[in-house]
Chain A
Amino acid sequence: MSRPSTEAEYLARLVPASTAALSRRNLLRGAVGATSMLAIPSLLAACGGSSSTTSPGATANTSGATGTVTLGSNQSDAVPKAAVQSVMDAFGKANSGLSVKINTIDHNSFQENINNYLQGTPDDVFSWFSGYRMRFFASQGLAGDISDVWAAKTDMTDALKIASTGDDGKQYFMPSTYYPWGVFYRKSVFSSKGYTVPKTMDELVTLSKQMQKDGLSPIAFGDKDGWPAMGTFDQINMRVNGFDYHVSLMAGKEDWSGDKVKKVFDTWRGLLPYHQSDSLGRTWQEAAQSLQQKKSGMYVLGAFVAQQFTKGAEQDDLDFFTFPEIDSNIGADAIEAPIDGYMLSASPKNEAGAKKLLGYLGGADAQNLAVKADPSVIATSGAADTGAYTALQKKSAEFVKSAKNIAQFMDRDTRPDFASTVMIPAIQSFIKAPTEIDSLVAGIQKQKLSIFSS
């Protein structure tokens, strides 16, 4: 099979053959915007013919939904918490007879206890992430099928639909917001020093050398918490080996000790001298502060880096570009943009109400409130109001739209046990000893075999 040219096609590959064949045909028409509207009728027909249990043309039977829906939310800090509350209030107003009871659990505890939470007494609807993380719980029977809610959805791209689809071809996830990863910089620094955005690896190295001459750390870097450097690995891998290979590597299907992975680490090693040194003792916030204080020139991170910057002028000074091209045959149009959203628990107490809520959360009204509260994320609904976006949000929306392939993030695209217990220590030891690549990748491969075989 040739390299998939779109995110949609990649995502389609993750779906089992029975359903994938049909969806891919439709999805090739395009992933974004208005095209998706055209695709919906044929998708509906396709669903009817597949082995899935969704009946043809099914829409969620939520018209008579009343009562209380419980929502497990991991948005516990002040601003997002208030935003969730306002969304639920708006939902209650729009649907008389329905109300939402929010169960807020702090982000960290929620994530660490998700296994137990879902097997205990979960709420009807809960906040979660797309990617392997979503498909895993769907395949374990811990999430509810919301294909009927999706059937009525017209404002989401097919790419997002595929990103919400489990291994069995049914939808289990309702996207809410997402944010891209890229190379962030301060416009004022670039304009005052006369820097231009690098398009290729060579340009990046040249720019880095110039920055060093100007007394800047070229690339801010902090990996004390282990996960930020995964983003750098993902970016380089997508540039060196292509999106297709990246996906397959994350799925555990490739040899981690092979030449391709070695080349990623080799390339990274070439860039390490331009990274801020002593990164293993530095948090991402400290690294972001060096960008904020104009001590570093660039920073490879997600758009949440904006949260370190003061709202207003300072945030407006923040801009980003895609990670530069390394191989011209591969290009630079594969990006990462993790999607956050909501799922239905396996046996909700108020199923009709919960599905109504999920439909609402995937819609423009709810997402307008969410993106207003957090200006580092953008809405997934095509009907959302982009007029009120900040400069950075507009750029993010543009960026995601122009990307050909979209990955999630290492800890969302691969098994979490592999990501956290193998890859975090491995990448950290690479940063410590960048020359010992052979033994490092051999160790990763050995552990990968034992984890993926279990």
Chain B
Amino acid sequence: MATVTADTAHQTPKTPRKRSRYKGLNHLSGVDRIVVSLMVGVPTFLVVALVWFPAVGSVLLSFTNWNGIGSPSRAKWLGLTNYQNVVTNYPPFWPALQHNLIWLVVMFVIATPLGMLLAVLLDQELKGGRIYQTAFYLPVVLSLALIGFIWQLMYSKDQGLINAVTGSTIDWYGDQSYNLGAALVATSWRQVGYVMLLYLAGLKGVDPTLREAAKVDGASETTTFFRVIFPVMRPINVIVLVVTVIESLRAFDLVWVINKGRNGLELISTLVTQNIVGEASRIGFGSALATFMLLISSAFIVVYLRIIMREER
């Protein structure tokens, strides 16, 4: 960790107290250096070895026609052929991209704000607050098998509750003009509880004295929230924002359990899975799809890091 250069210049000690001399927050003793190195080193090693190293492997495989059997050296180097096929010769690709974007917008505009709202409301001292929290969190806990069953009960054309109650004959899962919407309702149902939980934890970190001070100053609850609490909540807002982006780009399991991401429910992740997992084993082609996903994701990462950077200056 030789690169760890304690950057003490701008730290000016306030009032030097007795005993140890204050050398600034970033000053590290010998033992501390080892401790910090370990704290950084171990998790970094794990993530690099098990996430980034395979990711590079995946990108490399995307230039080949490897079928996943035997040594990858048996595969032929195809250059950009897989990418070309994805873009020009793979009907589900463009719809999938479009669906991912719709997904992102709906999560961003509906599910996430609703989760935040519920967290804010539940953050007050309420009777039965825990019961409400449990109700909203419940969908997050359930296994995929049950989620699939639950929404099949709701949406089935012949036997579903929605059609039985409203008398409509809409084919919720089969008709392309409805099934993405149906899947989005189901996924929002789960996302709300998740966002609520993260936000609740964040709200608890807000110094309660801030609120009291605002109260004493005569601010209303709404004003207090927007003028005092919300700005202090900036870190958690960023978290929820990034989580929303991540979840939308990685969205997978709900459409998978509905119809394996076909017929109007294509998402990039389901296309990757269809090509890589299972007997199909179009590793090269699937990896090319995954690389597209990686590229789109990195755009968001760059935006996020730029925000952070601006903040730290």
Q: A residues within 8 Å of B by Cβ?
A: 111-115, 119, 133, 140-142, 224-226, 278-282, 286, 289-290, 416-417, 420-421, 424-425, 428-429, 432, 443, 446-447, 450-451, 454
Q: Is B211 an interface residue (CB 8 A)?
A: no
The verdict on A432 contacting B176 (CB below 8 Å), with A225-B260, A286-B156 known, is yes
Q: Is B158 an interface residue (CB 8 A)?
A: yes
In the complex, are the beta carbons of B157 and A278 less than 8 A apart? yes
In the complex, are the beta carbons of B173 and A114 less than 8 A apart? no
Report how far A279 CA is from B176 CA in the complex, Å.
12
* Interface residues of A, dominant DSSP: helix
Report how far A421 CA is from B92 CA in the complex, Å.
9
Chain B nearest CB, measured from A128 CB (Å)? 11
Contact check: which of B69, B156, B278 meets A420 at CB < 8 Å? Answer: B278
Q: Which of B81, B157, B274 has the largest count of A CB atoms less than 10 A from its CB?
A: B157
Report how far A278 CA is from B85 CA in the complex, Å.
31
A-B contact pairs, 26 of them (CB 8 A): A115-B281, A142-B69, A224-B174, A224-B259, A225-B259, A226-B260, A281-B155, A286-B156, A416-B280, A416-B281, A417-B279, A417-B280, A420-B278, A421-B274, A421-B275, A421-B282, A425-B91, A425-B92, A425-B262, A428-B262, A428-B263, A429-B263, A446-B89, A450-B81, A450-B89, A454-B65
In the complex, are the beta carbons of B174 and A281 less than 8 A apart? yes
Contact check: which of A141, A279, A429 meets B174 at CB < 8 Å? Answer: A279
Contact check: which of B157, B172, B175, B259 meets A226 at CB < 8 Å? Answer: B259
Chain A residues whose C-beta falls within 8 Å of the C-beta of B260 in the assembled complex:
225-226
Q: Which of B70, B76, B92, B263 has the largest count of A CB atoms less than 10 A from its CB?
A: B263
Chain B residues whose C-beta falls within 8 Å of the C-beta of A224 in the assembled complex:
173-174, 259
Chain B residues whose C-beta falls within 8 Å of the C-beta of A428 in the assembled complex:
262-263
The verdict on A416 contacting B279 (CB below 8 Å), with A282-B157, A286-B158 known, is yes
Chain B nearest CB, measured from A337 CB (Å)? 20
Report how far A253 CA is from B69 CA in the complex, Å.
24
In the complex, are the beta carbons of A447 and B90 less than 8 A apart? yes
Report how far A113 CA is from B65 CA in the complex, Å.
19
Q: Is B171 an interface residue (CB 8 A)?
A: yes
Report how far A432 CA is from B280 CA in the complex, Å.
25
In the complex, are the beta carbons of B174 and A280 less than 8 A apart? yes
- Nearest 10 A/B pairs, CB to CB: A281-B174, A280-B174, A278-B171, A281-B173, A416-B279, A417-B280, A454-B65, A281-B171, A112-B278, A417-B282
The verdict on A111 contacting B279 (CB below 8 Å), with A224-B259, A447-B89 known, is yes
Q: Is B40 an interface residue (CB 8 A)?
A: no
In the complex, are the beta carbons of B179 and A133 less than 8 A apart? no
Report how far A147 CA is from B210 CA in the complex, Å.
81
Report how far A278 CA is from B281 CA in the complex, Å.
31
Report how far A279 CA is from B174 CA in the complex, Å.
7
Q: Which of B159, B172, B282 has the largest count of A CB atoms less than 10 A from its CB?
A: B282
Q: Is B36 an interface residue (CB 8 A)?
A: no
In the complex, what residue of chain B is closest to A440 when comparing beta carbons? B91
Chain A nearest CB, measured from B254 CB (Å)? 15
Chain A residues whose C-beta falls within 8 Å of the C-beta of B76 in the assembled complex:
454
Q: Is B181 an interface residue (CB 8 A)?
A: no
Q: Is B308 an interface residue (CB 8 A)?
A: no
Chain B residues whose C-beta falls within 8 Å of the C-beta of A226 in the assembled complex:
259-260, 262
B129-175 contacts to A (CB < 8 Å): 155-159, 169, 171-175
Q: Is B68 an interface residue (CB 8 A)?
A: yes
Report how far A226 CA is from B260 CA in the complex, Å.
9
Report how far A281 CA is from B265 CA in the complex, Å.
12
Give B60-92 as 1s and 0s: 1 = Cβ < 8 Å from A's Cβ atoms: 000001011110000010100100010001111
Contact check: which of A114, A451, A454 meets B279 at CB < 8 Å? Answer: A114
Q: Is B25 an interface residue (CB 8 A)?
A: no
Q: Is B201 an interface residue (CB 8 A)?
A: no
Q: Is B49 an interface residue (CB 8 A)?
A: no
